[in-house]
């Protein structure tokens, strides 16, 4: 998984990327380091169609400062994700689609505030069986 994402970030003119994994795929953690200044990608549209935690997403977003649209299927929040919220700002992003799994309202609010500044569209899909949508 890390190799796939690493290769995606080094393609110089890549604007759109969709990564999908089969349902029976076991979740493997994305363990890339946070991007340094010279490691940014030209990616503008990113679709993540596999299970992903907020901490993994924040790592991926550190490589994509040019991102305009972000779609994430099957995103969830761990208690350890609280430590990962940094000052990653996506000044170009204007549209986010989230399919939320296991998250509180407060956790989602922190993510939106900490990562976006020019957001115009936010689409949220909630799996009511797996989500706790309450203020913590």
Which residues make Cβ contacts (< 8 Å) with residue 89, sequence separation at least 6?
115, 116, 117
Give pLDDT, residue 128.
54
- Give the pLDDT of the chain (136 residues) as one tens digit per residue: 788 888 888 888 899 999 887 665 556 678 887 887 777 888 999 999 888 888 888 888 888 888 999 998 888 776 555 555 555 667 788 898 988 777 777 777 777 777 667 888 888 887 655 445 444 4
Q: CB of 117 within 8 A of CB of 91?
A: yes
Distance CA 20, CA 84 (A): 24
pLDDT the model gives residue 25 = 56
Sorted by sequence, the CB contacts under 8 Å of residue 98 that are 6+ apart come out as 72, 75, 108, 122, 123, 124, 125
Distance, CA of 117 to CA of 16 (rounded, Å): 21
Query: Domain locations in the chain?
Result: 40-136
**pLDDT of res. 1:** 78
- As a whole number of angstroms, the distance between CA 6 and CA 77 comes to 23
Residue 50, pLDDT score = 85
């Amino acid at each position: 998984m890390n190799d796939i994402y690493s290769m995606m970030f080094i393609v110089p003119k890549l604007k759109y990327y969709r990564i999908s994994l089969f349902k029976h795929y076991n979740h493997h953690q994305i363990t890339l380091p946070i991007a340094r200044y010279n490691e940014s990608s030209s990616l503008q549209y990113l679709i993540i169609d596999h299970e992903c935690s907020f901490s993994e997403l924040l790592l991926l977003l550190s490589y994509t400062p040019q991102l305009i649209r972000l779609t994430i299927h099957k995103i969830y929040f761990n208690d350890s994700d609280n430590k990962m919220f940094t000052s990653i700002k996506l000044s170009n992003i204007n549209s986010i689609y989230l399919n939320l799994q296991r998250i509180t309202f407060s956790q989602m609010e922190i993510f939106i505030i900490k990562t976006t500044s020019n957001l115009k569209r936010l689409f949220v899909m909630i799996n009511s069986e797996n989500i706790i949508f309450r203020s913590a």
